[in-house]
Amino acid sequence: MGKPVTYVVRDVPVINDVTIEDAINSGLDEVAEIISSGNSAPGTILNLYSDDFLHRFNNTDMIISKGQGNYEGLSNVNRSVFFLLKAKCNVIANNLQVRENDIVLKMIN
């Protein structure tokens, strides 16, 4: 689409999350800027993240957040976020009004 892309990863492996090393080894650095979240929590808990991440999060045009843990941490933020995830449990599936194990793409304002 010809737009700059920033891909946020963890510095260390957390559950099955991609690290900076993984992203570079996959070639992702050829199509996106890769930055660290500055945190090792399994979801996105904004008050634990780096100032650089928070600045980018608050000032970017579009956010695509992958994973149920990020949905759990970001579904109530005061900005638009596109969530891409698998509803892995009944609680999240019910919250999203989908079936458990459904793959979901949902925008929250």
Please give the tally of structural domains in the chain: 2
Give the range of the structural domain holding residue 15, as residue numbers without chain letter: 1-61
Same domain, 69 and 103: yes
Same domain, 67 and 52: no
Report pLDDT digits (tens) over 51-106.
Answer: 888 999 999 999 999 999 899 989 999 999 999 999 999 999 999 999 999 999 99
The structure's pTM equals 0.85
Same domain, 77 and 45: no
Considering only CA atoms, which of 71, 63, 20 is closest in space to residue 43? 71
Contact by Cβ (8 Å): 45, 72: no
Same domain, 56 and 77: no
Phi, psi of 83 (to 5 degrees): -110, 130
